A and B are shown apart, each in its own frame.
Chain A
């Protein structure tokens, strides 16, 4: 990089500049802080719940697991997978939202707002009610099919030769998601009560009841998708400059957009298939990260991901505590917290992050 850097910035380069990362120190500090918070919260999440455990017990169980003892079972079978799932889903939703906001150049884009989550939701709810015997592992395939179709439909509909309005993507997404939720709600009336309850619990975004298999699914898919995202992040920086500039700089814009949308949808779909639609994390986390990391893509993505994981973990722990012994689904909490933030963003002067 020939550009002179300020004293509070430095550049990391990998693979002969295929991956170059210019970061300022604030971002590094922020990353460190969020990571610390995340670990602290993980511990807290392990000993919060209806089965009382002391911190000493938690640490003893973690360092020396004894399968069969109640404290070990509570932690290793319930709380630990749940905590990891919350973090992973938060990370994936945040990244999905960040990518979507970048491509559409609209700060209000969020997978749960434009119908991507609702597409997954409809597919899974239909499966839960129409084929109650279907194995849970098919859900991710169905959710993926549902979200991809919705995303394709929005892209197709909002595509226009004359004027590409970022707003149109959102409005069409809202129309589609209203439609899909109407169908989902109405479809819920067909099933037996217990099936409908199961579907409703899933629809509310419930991290309760994940097992190690779910965590594995989340882990493997993040491991597949994150490198793809890192490779794309360089092009994302260019897409942020606007369509004309990106084309002038030699980006194959259409291909880039479709591949980025595919990554974003894949992230949201996998996360949704495991825990249900989680609203507004994809909206809040990238904005919070943008406050600290005002330019650049890589740092922003990393920070968004960590903040997303943190937020969803907080929502999950709060959901366990607020109306204990009953539990509030994390997805509902994120939605209740997310809407006021959405309104705040709507009220702010700037609606485009990069123009």
Chain B
């Protein structure tokens, strides 16, 4: 056995341990998320709610109708946005790439607001597709502007173009909000990125598409590693880069769109989690993708628990909590990576 395979073995062992640890963390946080809240519940009550559901027991209703959907949404949104960010950073080799910075979140949110405000569509059967349309249009627009700008699609240009497109869409959303206050009052909380107020049907309707996109991400993950080495290298190794990029873009759009359809625009997860993942386990995307997914799920579950506990019985919006944690890391990235 030569040294290189030994190193590989060692690192994969570390990776397996890390993954096992994260699985445990997700399960523990999941249970904690169900138990902690305005009304604290014991583990026995939790287990009873699952093993022997009692329609007349108020605690069981809380768990099934409020906490379970919320916990599932936290897991799926956290995982999806983290994976979307990881793919974007790998493909564009841009440390600032993420659904929020490059305007995908704003595009998806804008499309959903328009669909609801003008056509009254809010069924979870359609919202992921509407959000996907918005996210992909915004992504294409941002990419087009950055490519056309002098210097090409550098992190600087992409960030500026993303900020411009997001600002534009936000202004139009404000116009809608002001012109029709009653309808858009419901959207107020959703636009700040909120995990609350969804029922289990929303999760059931959207989760299959998320799982599909996640599987696609895992299947394509070995090729992302090649792509991250540079387009020339990837082509030299026999990869059809254009086709791969289109497949990856569709995956990213689907992941982002489903997240926005579930919880509104939740920023910073897609930016921060992939960086932490790569810090721990290196640049092999076969590992980065699953690791980011679990870490993202852990992060959002944890943030959501904190958001509900700090000023209990009221709640901090999840959007505030992720922004407060994410913004300092973003500042650090600009200082460290773009210096």
**Interface residue ranges, A against B (CB under 8 Å):** 108, 113, 157, 160, 162-163, 167-168, 170-172, 174-176, 178-179, 181-183, 185-190, 193, 196-197, 200-201, 203-204, 279, 323, 326, 328-329, 332, 335-336, 339-340, 342-343, 346-349, 351
CB within 8 Å for A347 and B145 given contacts A179-B323, A189-B188, A332-B175:
yes
Does the CB pair B193–A186 fall under 8 Å?
A: yes
Q: Does B32 contact A (CB under 8 A)?
A: no
**Extra contacts besides A160-B335, A175-B334 (7): CB < 8 Å:** A179-B323, A179-B324, A188-B192, A193-B185, A200-B174, A346-B149, A346-B157
Sampled A-B contacts (5; CB under 8 Å): A182-B327, A185-B319, A335-B168, A335-B170, A347-B150
Smallest CB–CB gap between B46 and chain A, Å?
29
Question: Which residues of the partner chain B approach A174 to less than 8 Å between Cβ atoms?
Answer: 159-160, 163
Bound Cα distance from A326 to B176, whole angstroms: 12
Which of A160, A188, A326, A329 is the one whose CB lies under 8 Å from B339?
A160
3 tightest A-B CB contacts, nearest first:
A179-B327, A182-B323, A186-B317
Q: Does B177 contact A (CB under 8 A)?
A: yes
Question: Which residues of the partner chain A approach B179 to less than 8 Å between Cβ atoms?
Answer: 323, 326
Chain B: CB-nearest residue to A204: B174
Does the CB pair B267–A157 fall under 8 Å?
A: no
Q: Does B284 contact A (CB under 8 A)?
A: no
Question: Which residues of the partner chain B approach A332 to less than 8 Å between Cβ atoms?
Answer: 171, 174-175, 178
Bound Cα distance from A193 to B175, whole angstroms: 17
Does the CB pair A347–B159 fall under 8 Å?
A: no
Q: Does B308 contact A (CB under 8 A)?
A: no
Which of A175, A186, A193, A336 is the one whose CB lies under 8 Å from B319?
A186
Which of B157, B168, B181, B314 is the one whose CB lies under 8 Å from A197?
B181
Bound Cα distance from A174 to B101, whole angstroms: 10
Smallest CB–CB gap between A350 and chain B, Å?
8
Bound Cα distance from A186 to B189, whole angstroms: 7
Bound Cα distance from A215 to B211, whole angstroms: 57
Smallest CB–CB gap between B194 and chain A, Å?
7
Which of B150, B156, B319 is the one whose CB lies under 8 Å from A349?
B150
Does the CB pair A339–B167 fall under 8 Å?
A: yes
Does the CB pair A339–B168 fall under 8 Å?
A: yes
Question: Which residues of the partner chain B approach A176 to less than 8 Å between Cβ atoms?
Answer: 327, 331
Question: Which residues of the partner chain B approach A340 to less than 8 Å between Cβ atoms?
Answer: 168
CB within 8 Å for A346 and B320 given contacts A178-B327, A197-B181, A332-B174:
no
Chain B: CB-nearest residue to A108: B160
Does the CB pair A346–B267 fall under 8 Å?
A: no
Question: Which residues of the partner chain A approach B322 to less than 8 Å between Cβ atoms?
Answer: 182
Does the CB pair A113–B163 fall under 8 Å?
A: yes
Does the CB pair B334–A168 fall under 8 Å?
A: yes
Does the CB pair A348–B150 fall under 8 Å?
A: yes
CB within 8 Å for A182 and B171 given contacts A171-B159, A343-B164:
no
Q: Does B252 contact A (CB under 8 A)?
A: no
Q: DSSP class of B's interface residues: helix, strand, loop or mixed?
A: helix
Q: Does B100 contact A (CB under 8 A)?
A: yes
Q: Does B131 contact A (CB under 8 A)?
A: no
Bound Cα distance from A276 to B82, whole angstroms: 35
Question: Which residues of the partner chain B approach A347 to less than 8 Å between Cβ atoms?
Answer: 145, 148-150
Chain B: CB-nearest residue to A333: B171
CB within 8 Å for A171 and B156 given contacts A185-B192, A200-B174:
yes
Chain B: CB-nearest residue to A327: B178
Question: Which residues of the partner chain B approach A197 to less than 8 Å between Cβ atoms?
Answer: 181
Smallest CB–CB gap between B174 and chain A, Å?
5
Question: Which residues of the partner chain A approach B319 to less than 8 Å between Cβ atoms?
Answer: 182, 185-186
Question: Which residues of the partner chain A approach B23 to less than 8 Å between Cβ atoms?
Answer: none
Q: Does B74 contact A (CB under 8 A)?
A: no
Does the CB pair B157–A189 fall under 8 Å?
A: no
Q: Does B18 contact A (CB under 8 A)?
A: no
Query: Quick one: CB contact mask for B174-204 with A, threshold 8 Å, 1 for yes?
Result: 1101110100010011011110000000000
Q: Does B330 contact A (CB under 8 A)?
A: yes
Which of A113, A279, A348 is the one whose CB lies under 8 Å from B171?
A279
Question: Which residues of the partner chain A approach B148 to less than 8 Å between Cβ atoms?
Answer: 347
Question: Which residues of the partner chain A approach B165 to less than 8 Å between Cβ atoms?
Answer: 339
Residues 254-268 of B at the A interface (beta carbon under 8 Å): 267
Smallest CB–CB gap between A208 and chain B, Å?
11
Bound Cα distance from A65 to B275, whole angstroms: 66
Bound Cα distance from A196 to B182, whole angstroms: 12
Bound Cα distance from A336 to B171, whole angstroms: 6
Question: Which residues of the partner chain B approach A196 to less than 8 Å between Cβ atoms?
Answer: 188
Query: Quick one: CB contact mask for B250-289 with A, threshold 8 Å, 1 for yes?
Result: 0000000000000000010000000000000000000000
Bound Cα distance from A292 to B160, whole angstroms: 26
Question: Which residues of the partner chain A approach B130 to less than 8 Å between Cβ atoms?
Answer: none
Does the CB pair A189–B317 fall under 8 Å?
A: yes
CB within 8 Å for A157 and B335 given contacts A174-B160, A179-B327, A347-B148:
yes
CB within 8 Å for A183 and B172 given contacts A113-B163, A174-B163, A346-B161:
no
Smallest CB–CB gap between B59 and chain A, Å?
27
Q: Does B48 contact A (CB under 8 A)?
A: no
Does the CB pair B327–A335 fall under 8 Å?
A: no
Question: Which residues of the partner chain A approach B327 to less than 8 Å between Cβ atoms?
Answer: 175-176, 178-179, 182
Bound Cα distance from A203 to B150, whole angstroms: 33
Does the CB pair A182–B175 fall under 8 Å?
A: no
Question: Which residues of the partner chain A approach B160 to less than 8 Å between Cβ atoms?
Answer: 108, 170, 174, 342, 346
Q: Does B62 contact A (CB under 8 A)?
A: no
Question: Which residues of the partner chain A approach B172 to less than 8 Å between Cβ atoms?
Answer: 336
Which of A168, A190, A343 is the one whose CB lies under 8 Å from B338?
A168
Bound Cα distance from A349 to B334, whole angstroms: 24
Does the CB pair B164–A339 fall under 8 Å?
A: yes
Most chain B CB within a 10 A radius of its CB, from A174, A329, A332, A336? A174
CB within 8 Å for A175 and B150 given contacts A163-B339, A187-B320, A336-B172:
no
Question: Which residues of the partner chain A approach B178 to less than 8 Å between Cβ atoms?
Answer: 200-201, 204, 328-329, 332
Query: Quick one: CB contact mask for B310-339 with A, threshold 8 Å, 1 for yes?
Result: 000010110110111011001100110011
